[in-house]
């Protein structure tokens, strides 16, 4: 049973450069000889009240809010690179509002998905574990958002930076640190099968069985997927299905299948039937995300009829379907829009 505790990751900017560099090294390489576990570091600094140690370098913050309650914030790191993160208030079926934090794992991204703003940046660099945790710390302690859920769906492909992402999850779930239950943490991938396999091993560790896997599929077949996602040339949907099946066989929770619905590209209701056939009996939930136009987008956002028809076709084909609420579109904070401030 997780008990939520208010703990404080040391503030990011520290005049004590040596202490900061040491913490940074430990957080980035928790397995390094002579170091202690990243979570222990977090505990140690909390216990000794060092609110001035460096975890992620200098920060300069921009905080942009939209009327629907979505907040996008920017952190500037020591080398001048910036991350974008989003806090989304989402009302559940019970009426309770969850505060979901969407974390970035990289500056930019190498995956080149054609519908995504971040892809225009290319991959600049991976974030360190400390820089990932710093996003949570800023949301929780500076913006005073009571974060209940975390998704790795911001800038970057988390499976391309899995060492840092997994170490961050250990800190974020630590009882004496952020204490976010693993069941409320999800990692999304474009279909990096080796990454899915490593994440499957991670999920089988004590206490981590409830972490969630999301896969950005966005098409009913390789031909359409290839137009949207270059990774399809290296990883077919067949290979992707195998990796997801291994996740389920190892005890993973149903996979969240993400489907960015783009008018005229992947919105044919017949495609929903084909998608259902591809998924076969895989335990999963389909999350339909109405496309959020990037800057100079060749496609508009889908209209309501288009979204409703696709969802209905998917449900008729036997899929469990949710529609992602569109949030933060006006401030370029919606899914696929990060990096276009």
| 257: contact with ligand SF4 by CB under 6 A | no
Q: Which of residues 119-178 bind ligand SF4 (CB under 6 A)?
A: 119, 155-157
Residue among 151, 152, 77, 154 nearest 121 (CA): 154
Of 70 and 218, CB closest to ligand SF4:
218
Q: Does 102 bind ligand SF4 (CB under 6 A)?
A: no
Of the ranges 35-43, 104-112, 236-244, 287-295, which one interacts with ligand SF4 (CB under 6 A)?
104-112
Identity of the residue, 219 or 317, whose beta carbon is nearer to ligand SF4 in the bound complex: 219
> Which residue is listed with tokens 């992707």?
240
Judged by CB under 6 A, the chain residues 318 through 337 that form the site for ligand SF4 are 336
Q: How far is the CB of 336 from ligand SF4 (least distance, A)?
A: 6
Contact 134, 76 (CB under 8 A): no
Contact 69, 91 (CB under 8 A): no
- By CB under 6 A, tell whether 84 contacts ligand SF4: no
From residue 181 to residue 220, the character string flagging contacts with ligand SF4 as x (rule: CB under 6 A) and all else as - is ---------x------------------------------
Q: Shortest Cβ distance from residue 73 to ligand SF4 (Å)? A: 17
DSSP β-bridge partners for residue 204: none
What is the SS3 assignment for 101?
A: strand
Residue 109 binds ligand SF4, judged by CB under 6 A: yes
- Tell me how far, at minimum, the Cβ of 192 lies from ligand SF4, in Å: 9
Query: Distance (Å, rounded) from C-alpha 163 to C-alpha 193?
Result: 15
Burial class of residue 176, CB neighbours in 10 A (0-12, 13-18, 19+): middle
DSSP codes of every residue in 141-200: IIS-----EEEE-SSS-GGGGHHHHHHHHHHHH-TTTT---GGGEEEEES--HHHHHHHH
Q: Helix or strand or coil: residue 32?
A: coil
DSSP collapsed to 3 states, 299-331: CCCCCHHHHHHHHHHHHHCCCCEEECCCCCHHH
- Whether 284 is a known active-site residue: answer no
- Residue 75 binds ligand SF4, judged by CB under 6 A: no
Spatial contact of 61 and 74, defined as CB atoms under 8 Å apart: yes
The residue (of 140 and 157) whose beta carbon lies closer to ligand SF4 is: 157
Exactly one of 55, 88, 111, 171 binds ligand SF4 (CB under 6 A); that residue is 111
Question: Which residues have a catalytic role annotated?
Answer: 335
User: Residues interacting with ligand SF4, by CB under 6 A?
Assistant: 109, 111-113, 116, 118-119, 155-157, 190, 336
């Amino acid at each position: 049973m997780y008990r939520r505790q208010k703990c404080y990751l040391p503030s990011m900017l520290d005049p004590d450069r040596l202490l900061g560099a040491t913490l940074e090294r430990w957080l980035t390489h928790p397995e390094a000889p002579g170091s202690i576990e990243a979570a222990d570091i977090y505990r140690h600094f909390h216990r000794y009240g060092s609110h001035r140690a460096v975890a992620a370098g200098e920060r300069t913050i921009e905080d942009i809010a939209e009327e629907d309650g979505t907040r996008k914030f920017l952190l500037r790191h020591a080398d001048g690179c910036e991350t974008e993160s989003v806090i989304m208030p989402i009302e559940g079926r019970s009426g309770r509002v969850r505060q979901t934090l969407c974390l970035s794992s990289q500056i930019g991204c190498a995956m080149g998905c054609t519908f995504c703003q971040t892809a225009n940046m290319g991959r600049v660099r991976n974030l360190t574990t400390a820089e990932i945790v710093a996003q949570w710390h800023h949301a929780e302690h500076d913006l005073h958002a009571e974060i209940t859920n975390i998704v790795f769906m911001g800038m970057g492909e988390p499976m391309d930076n899995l060492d840092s992402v997994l170490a961050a999850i250990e800190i974020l779930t630590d009882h004496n640190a952020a204490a976010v239950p693993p069941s409320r943490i999800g990692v999304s991938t474009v279909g990096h099968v080796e990454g899915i396999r490593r994440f499957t091993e991670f999920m089988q560790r004590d206490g981590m069985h409830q972490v969630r896997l999301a896969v950005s599929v966005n098409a009913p077949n390789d031909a359409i997927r290839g137009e949207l996602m270059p990774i399809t040339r290296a990883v077919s949907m067949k290979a992707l299905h195998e990796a997801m099946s291994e996740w389920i066989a190892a005890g993973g929770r149903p996979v969240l299948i993400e489907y960015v619905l783009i008018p005229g590209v992947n919105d044919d209701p017949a495609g929903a039937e084909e998608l259902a056939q591809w998924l076969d009996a895989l335990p999963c939930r389909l999350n339909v995300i109405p496309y959020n136009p990037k800057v100079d987008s060749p496609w508009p956002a889908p209209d309501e009829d288009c979204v409703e028809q696709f969802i209905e076709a998917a449900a008729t084909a036997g899929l469990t379907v949710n529609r992602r609420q569109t949030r933060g579109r006006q401030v370029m904070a919606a899914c696929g829009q990060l990096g276009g401030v």
